[in-house]
Amino acid sequence: MRTTVVIAGLALSLAACTTTPVLQPVLHATPDAKATLAVRNPRTMIVASATAMLGQPYRYGGAAPGGFDCSGLVVYATNHAGIHLPRTALQQLRAGATIPRTELQAGDLVFMHLARKELHVGIAIDADRFVHAPATGRYVRIDSLNAPPYVHGFLTALRIVDDATAAAAPVEPAASAIQSPLTALPAK
């Protein structure tokens, strides 16, 4: 009797698995749906491409997944937004319009002089945070411009995205991926 009950229970469990309907996402199309997908905000694309590389190791001369140096991360992220910048931080320093730090927006470049680096570059996420490939033995990460050593080493910021173009493009939901960078960092 007990064996019969166990077999009946198992049969019901398995039957439930095979008869459960597969849920499909329902997409509600709007007249602007195609236009929204076709036009992307370059600022969002730069930040999303850079933050997608969180946890990648620093590698001198690196500009692709598997290893980045600071300017290589910038080239990689901006290329994904259709913006082509020179390869080195010094060349990138001459590539945009200088802006005050108080006007930083997502996708702007931030330059600094650090103890072991003559020139370092990162990508602003907002007025306080930036993503960068810090140094040998470290990983692509997000830091605060208001924390040492970055607050003391800040040199300048550059705008590389045309504000008129960026304002006309809708912001994509992918930007929300930057809110929790610690989950992307490797275990030490």
Say which of 28, 70, 80, 113 is annotated catalytic.
70
Q: For position 178, what pLDDT does the model report?
A: 41
pLDDT averaged over 10-residue windows placed end to end, the chain, 188 residues: 48 39 37 47 97 98 97 98 96 96 97 92 98 97 97 97 66 40 39
Task: Note the pTM of the prediction, 2 decimals.
Answer: 0.70
Domain 36-164 has CATH 3.30.930.10: no
List the catalytic residue out of 17, 28, 80, 132.
132
Contact 156, 111 (CB under 8 A): yes
- End-to-end Cα, the chain, rounded Å: 55
Whether residue 120 lies in the annotated active site: yes
Report domain extents, the chain.
Answer: 36-164
DSSP structure string for 22-39: PP-PPP---TTHHHHHH-
Catalytic residue among 80, 84, 120, 152: 120
**DSSP E strands, 17-166:** 63-64, 67-68, 97-99, 109-114, 117-124, 129-132, 141-144, 154-159
Active-site residue 132, yes or no? Answer: yes
The predicted structure's pLDDT at residue 163: 76
Give Cα 6 distance to the centre of its chain: 51
84 tagged catalytic:
no
Asked whether the beta carbons of 120 and 131 are under 8 A apart, the reply is no
CA dihedral in degrees (38, 36, 45, 185; nearest 10)?
A: -120
